[in-house]
Amino acid sequence: MRMSSLADYAVVLMSAAARHCGGMRCNARALATETGLPLPTAQKLVSKLSAAGLIESVRGAGGGFRLSRPPAAITLADIVEAVDGPIEITVCAGDHASDCAMEGSCHVRPHWQIVNRTIRAALSGVTLASLGQHVPTSLGLDPERPEHPLDLKKVGERTST
C-alpha cells in the first residue's frame, strides 16, 4: 500500500511552503526550484491545494499564495485528501455505500474500517509544523520518544475509543 506520488509531492511542497512562507507569499516557481519538483507539477499541486482550502491565492503584483492556516493546523491527512480524495484503503472502508458485491455479507468490512481509521488518525497526528522537527534516529522514526510528532502507541489508543 502506497500513497500516490502526487500526494507525496504535495507534502514536500507544503512542507517547503511552511518553512519559507510563514505569513508571507510564496510562488510555485520558487518552491519547484527548492524542492526539485517540475514546475507544471508544482502548479498542479498549488491548484489542488488551493481548491481544498489549504493555501490561499493572492493575485496581482507580488502575488502568489500563502498557507491558509498555521502549519500546526495542517495535517498530512489534510494534504493527502486534498490530492487523492478520502483516505480509504478499500472500497468499503469509508462511511458511504460501496459497489462491492460482498458488502451485505462481509465479515471483514468492520476490520477494514478500523484499519482505515487508524491510518487516517496517524496521518492526522502529523502536522506541517512537526515535519520541521529533527528526527534523530537513522530509521527516521522513534515512537518511544513522547515528544515525537507520531507516537504510535497514542495513535492506537485514539482509534480504540
> For the residues of 59-101, what is the DSSP string, one character each?
-STT-EEEESS-GGG-BHHHHHHHHH-S--SSTTSSSS----T
User: 70 near 103, Cβ under 8 Å?
Assistant: no
Task: List all residues 6 or more positions away from 132 whose beta carbon is below 8 Å from its beta carbon.
Answer: 15, 18, 19, 71
Each residue of 73-119: pLDDT tens digit? 999 999 999 999 998 888 777 666 667 777 778 888 888 888 888 99
Give dist(CA 96, CA 159) in Å, integer: 19
Taking the complete model, does pTM exceed 0.95, yes or no? no
Each residue of 40-65: pLDDT tens digit? 999 999 999 999 999 998 777 777 88
Give dist(CA 109, CA 84) in Å, integer: 22
Alpha-carbon distances of 71 from 39, 89, 156, rounded to whole Å: 23, 26, 24
Q: By three-state DSSP, how is residue 58 classified?
A: strand
